């Protein structure tokens, strides 16, 4: 657990150093929008955050679809098991019965 905290501290320190070194204001243009004076580090980190959110959402959709499929298959297995136990046991292979 301490390794996770150390890793988080290292990432936090790296991000802080990155933000401190990239404070130059930039102009952001998108179609008709224009934002002036936004720090370069903020633009980069927001882009990273938005990309991570979209990647997480696409992964979450995939997991949701797979869990849904697993539930469907579990229901199908339960139905097949119930149908199999409801059938009378077979007597095996017997020859023809002869009249007496």
| Joined tokens for residue 74 | 């579990």
Whether 52 has a pLDDT exceeding 70, the answer reads yes
Whether 65 has a pLDDT exceeding 90, the answer reads yes
How many whole angstroms separate alpha carbon 43 and alpha carbon 28?
A: 8
Q: What is the pLDDT of residues 71-86, one digit of tens each?
A: 999 999 999 998 888 7
Tokens 């997991």, located at residue: 63
Asked whether residue 29 is assigned to any structural domain, the reply reads yes
**Structural domains of the chain, count:** 1
Asked whether residue 22 is assigned to any structural domain, the reply reads yes
37-76 burial by CB neighbour count: b if 16+ within 10 A, else e? Answer: eeeebeeeeeeeeeeeeeeeeeeeeeeeeeeeeeeeeeee
Asked whether residue 5 is assigned to any structural domain, the reply reads no
Asked whether residue 49 is assigned to any structural domain, the reply reads yes
Predicted TM-score (pTM) of the model is: 0.56
Domain that residue 44 falls in: 10-58
Q: Coil, helix or strand for 30?
A: strand
Asked whether residue 94 is assigned to any structural domain, the reply reads no
Asked whether residue 91 is assigned to any structural domain, the reply reads no
Asked whether residue 87 is assigned to any structural domain, the reply reads no
Asked whether residue 27 is assigned to any structural domain, the reply reads yes
């Amino acid at each position: 657990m301490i390794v996770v905290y150390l890793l988080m501290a290292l990432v936090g320190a790296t991000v802080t150093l990155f933000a401190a070194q990239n404070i130059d204001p930039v102009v952001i243009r998108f179609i008709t929008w224009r934002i002036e004076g936004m720090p370069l580090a903020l633009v980069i980190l927001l882009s990273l955050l938005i990309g991570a959110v979209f990647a997480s959402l696409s992964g979450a959709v995939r997991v949701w679809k797979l869990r849904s499929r697993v539930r469907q298959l579990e229901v199908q297995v339960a139905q097949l098991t119930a149908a199999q136990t409801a059938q009378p046991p077979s007597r095996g292979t017997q020859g023809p019965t002869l009249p007496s």
